[in-house]
Every structure is written in C-alpha cells, then in structure tokens.
Chain A
Amino acid sequence: MNDLLLDVMEVSKTFARGRLLSREKIVAVNKVSMQLAAGQPEILAIIGESGSGKTTLARMILNMETPTSGRLVLDGTDLAAMGGNAARLAFMHKVQPIFQNPFESFNPLKRVERYLLMTRLRFTGAAGESTAAVAVDAALHKVGLSLKEVGGRYPHELSGGQLQRVAIARALLAEPKLIVADEPVSMIDASLRMSIVNLFRTLRDELGISIIYVTHDLATAYYISDRIMIMQKGSVVESGDARTVLKAPRHPYTRQLREAVLLPEVASAPAIVTPNMNGLSPGAPERRA
C-alpha cells in the first residue's frame, strides 16, 4: 500500500442525462485503472479528445467528483472514506490542481497573493503572515516571479503566462506530492507556453513532485511526459512509456491521433496555387436569377 502514491482501481463514472422518463446514461469514464509510484516522481500525461473522459478522471483524482464505482486511494487514504474538514485539508495538502484558464483561476475582484498566503497558512502551519510571506516569495521565485511583481496585483493586471505561474506557485505552497494539471498550457500564448511546460519538468526533478498532465496535445505530452495514457470514450486504449507509445503507436486510435498532429513544418512546399476556374469565377455565383 505504501509504495503507491496514487492507486486508481477500476474507476467508472456515469452521468445521467435527459428528461424525467427517458433517462440515458453517459459513461464518462469506464473502468480505468492506473498507478503512480511513491518516491519516484514522474510526469504522466492523460491524452484524449473532447468526450474522452480525461477531465472527469482528473476531477475524480482531485476528489471534485465521486466515482460511480471503483476505488481511488491516495497515499494510503481511500478518497471515498474521507470525511470531515481535517481529512479534506490533509488530502489537499497532498494533491493540488492547476486549471486550464489562468484568467479564471483567481477571483477577479481579489488580489492574487491572498490565495498564496492562505494556502501557506492553511497547509503548512506557517506561523503568522510574515513567515508565510517569505515562503510565498520563495515559491514565486521557483516559477520565475517574485512577491514584488505579484504583490497587491489583481488578476487582470497580470498576463496569462504570469497568472499560470502564480497558480503553480500557489500549488507548490501546499507542498503537495502530486499536481493534477488539466490543459495547463492550452490557453497560454505560444511564446510563453514552453517556459511553463519546462517548469513542470523542474518541479519533477528538483522538488520531486509527480504531475498528472491532462492534454489533447500530443507534441507537448511527448516533450515532457515520462508515461502516457491515451483515452477514448472513457476507456484507456493504450498506455506506456511516452516515447515508445508515440513513436510506434499500436492501437489504431493512437495511430489516428498521431497522424492528425499538424507538424510545424511544411511537408512539401505547395506550388503557388493557380486557381482552377473552370468557368467558376469568384464573386460570380453559378446561377443568377
């Protein structure tokens, strides 16, 4: 039991949809099992398209959603058996989330450092605001920012990239063992994206934090993850070492995904297109009244 950080056992989640009489059940996650080893930090990418159940799975790991069947055990604690405030705090001390939209991650009416200080005070028993502020500054330095830049600022005064860094710093302040990041860079501008992605690697190597990276983007998943898990319609269709799976996908769906990746280079320079008019000139519809 103790050698697993996260043990997901045959977890399913169904949602009921529809009217009162004709209820249909939608299986969002179907009997998914996965493990993360303790003391062996790694980045695991969960890859899937919309409707694959990847976000629902991530939400179940974060205890934001209860599974319909199956069991989730985090660091020896069964999530279903967790009751009371103290247990919830202990859980959040171990697992922290990073969300997709950095502009939505913080209350627009509040200053961002509020969340950083709060996290520090609640989870690590920091004695007083001033000790917490020192820790906050240190965490911000780890993500390439400082309390001087961020202190007193409201979310709209920071860029998307900066906010996502603050979100990561906030997660770090709880000193978690696992970070679950749901599409953390899909809304980050291209020129800033790689520095955030690289940051995850630093967290794994220097702070020993395991990361579950939920994404639809195979290229960044290949770039940072150690292991990947491909999901389709709620089920895991292929999983394993990131490089092996993505270089030589075995499941037809993985192959299909792999082939749909638009390479950032022009395969064969297209000849200057000469429009083939065939009597159909632009601006002149085929038939006129």
Chain B
Amino acid sequence: MVAFIRELLRYRTEFRIGLALVAVVLLLSMMASFSPYPPDSVYVVPPDLPPSLTYWFGTTSRGQDVFWQVSFAIRNTLLFGGTVALVSRLVALAVGLVSGYKGGWVDRALMSVNDTFIVIPLLPILVLFYFVMRDRISWLMLALIMACFGWAYDARLIRSVVMSLRQREFTQTSLFSGMTTRQILTEEHLPYVVPILFSTTMNNMVWSIGLEVTLAVLGFTDINTPTIGGMIYWANQHTAMVAGIWWWIAFPTIAVIMAFIGLFLLAVSVNAHIDPRSRLWSTGEAS
C-alpha cells in the first residue's frame, strides 16, 4: 500500500494536485475545532461585512463569521460523505467478496438484491423520506439511507474482480493448503480489491456530498446543522446574491468545489494506475 502510494506520487501529476486540494480542504475543516464561536449561534459578529483582515471571508446577514461557518460546514459535509462511503464500502465489500467467490445461488440471490438497489431512483425516495420524517431527520440517518443506495455498483465491480481471482490457480493452491473461505477472501483476495476500494471511496464521496448539497439547498435536510448545502440554503433565504453579499455563497461553493475536484482527481489517478496497461505506459515513459 505504501509502495502503491509512493508510485502514484511519482508518476501521476493528477494524484499530486488532487492530494494537495484535499489537504487544503481537510486543513480548513480541522480549523473548526479552534472556532471562537459555536456554529449555531447567530449575531455573534456584525452582519453583512465584506472580506477583510478581521473577517477573512466576510460575515453573513445572520451575524456569523463566514470563515468559521465554512470550516464547520465543510467538516460536517466531509464527515457526512465519509460516513456514507465507509458504510457503503463495507456493504459493497461483503456482498462483492461473498457473491464473487461463492457463485451459484448465493451469487444469484445477492445480485438480485444488488440490481434492485441499482434501479431504484434515489432522489424521489429521499424527498419522500423527508416528508415522512420532517424534523426528526438527522444527518446520520440521511447518511445511512444514502449508504444503502451507494454500494450496489461497487459491489458488482468487486464481485467481477473476485470472480476472476477465483479462477486463478493460486486460489486453488490456497484451498488445498487448507485455508478457510474467510481466510482466502480476506488474506488472498482482499489485497487485490483494496485499490478499487480506495478509488471508489472518492467517487462515492463526490456522489453523496453532491446529493447532500442538493437536498440541503432545497431545504430537505436538517438545516440547523451547518453544512455546505445548509449555508447556501440560508444565504438564499436572505437573498444574499441580490443584496450583494456574494461572499456568503462564494466561499462555501469554492470549498466544496475544491473538495470535489480533489477527490475526483484522486479517484481518476488511482483508477488509471490500477489499470496495468496505463501503469506500464506511464512508468515506461518516465524511465
């Protein structure tokens, strides 16, 4: 894994840029711990001030410092994306490994569930869910619902990799060495799946964060927890663009775009690097 990342750093410019962007966004989100104000308090600073040396990103019409708000918002948004990614990766991994290795009726049963999740349209379900739950909806609940919908494609991907690994002779050697199914899956096959897990994590986070921002902007989430979407929602409520308070919308948007591009570049470069043909090409050219 260390060697893999070192190789990426060496041969992939996209990876370096992506890593830098993600690092900046992470740093910003970690600043939240040092915020002088609690995130949900309003009118703690004079409202509607443009960016200055005192208030780097300006202040909102609700009397909040945009810098600290963005910091909290991006932290919550990343946490949300991370939770969705983590939970959905675990499900995808379990389903993909078992389905690909066991084959037969286990595979057919798991894949029919899998395909059901692929075809169900997500946005209407989420909106419906909001109207049923109303105020009781929390970000964790939303994250779990999205995780339920975020694993199916990647489970298929992992399944196809494991299916081809199962055909290889070393799997038979492992079997005839007396390894159990769990050992073969976690010790022999998992190392081949880890890079896929890594790259799909980025894609999954981009997907879930985008969806969360969309829902929040529309007001379909818990708007009292500051998230990027939540900030834009409040800015819209106070007609920030019309009032010329552009910094209220610009800074959260820039932060989330940086996170998007960073994660996307990481995913793309890892993906390209997993493909052995392009890997040979890039390392060959660099030599």
Q: Could you pull out 20 A-B pairs where Cβ atoms are within 8 angstroms?
A: A64-B172, A97-B172, A97-B176, A99-B172, A104-B168, A104-B169, A106-B170, A107-B170, A107-B173, A108-B170, A115-B177, A118-B177, A118-B178, A118-B179, A119-B176, A119-B178, A122-B179, A171-B176, A174-B176, A174-B178
> In the complex, which residues of chain B have a beta carbon less than 8 angstroms from the beta carbon of A99?
169, 172-173
Picked from B176, B180, B192, the residue with its CB within 8 Å of the CB of A85 is B180
Complexed CA–CA distance, A171 and B188 (Å) = 19
B174 is an interface residue with CB less than 8 A from chain A: yes
- Judge if B191 is at the interface, Cβ distance under 8 Å: yes
Q: How far is the CB of B191 from chain A (nearest CB, A)?
A: 5
Is A250 among interface residues, defined by CB-CB distance under 8 A? no
A44 contacts partner chain B, Cβ-Cβ < 8 Å = no
Give the residues from 194 to 238 in chain A that come closer than 8 angstroms, CB to CB, to chain B.
none
A278 CB, min distance to chain B CBs, angstroms: 47
Which A residue sits closest to B178, measured CB to CB?
A: A122
- Nearest residue (CB) in B for A112 is B173
Task: Using CB atoms and an 8 Å cutoff, list the residues of chain B in contact with chain A.
Answer: 168-170, 172-180, 187-188, 191-192
Given A104-B168, A107-B188, A110-B188, the answer on whether A167 and B177 have CB atoms closer than 8 Å is no
Q: Are B177 and A170 in contact, with the CB atoms below 8 A?
A: yes
A92, CB-defined interface residue at 8 Å:
yes
Main secondary structure of the interface of B (DSSP, over half): helix
Chain A interface residues toward B at CB < 8 A: 64, 85, 89, 92, 96-97, 99-101, 104-110, 115, 118-119, 121-123, 167, 170-171, 174
Point out the residues of chain B lying under 8 angstroms from A118, CB to CB: 177-179
State how many angstroms separate the Cβ of B219 from the closest Cβ of chain A.
Answer: 49
Q: How far is the CB of A167 from chain B (nearest CB, A)?
A: 7
Which B residue's beta carbon lies closest to that of A93? B178
Output the least CB separation between A122 and chain B (Å): 3
Counting chain B CB atoms within 10 Å of each CB, which of A85, A109, A123 scores highest? Answer: A109
Q: A64-B172, A97-B176 are in contact. List 12 more A-B contacts (CB 8 A).
A: A92-B175, A92-B176, A99-B173, A101-B169, A104-B169, A104-B170, A106-B173, A107-B170, A107-B174, A118-B178, A123-B178, A174-B178
Chain B residues with Cβ under 8 A from A64's Cβ? Answer: 172
Closest to B187 in A: A110
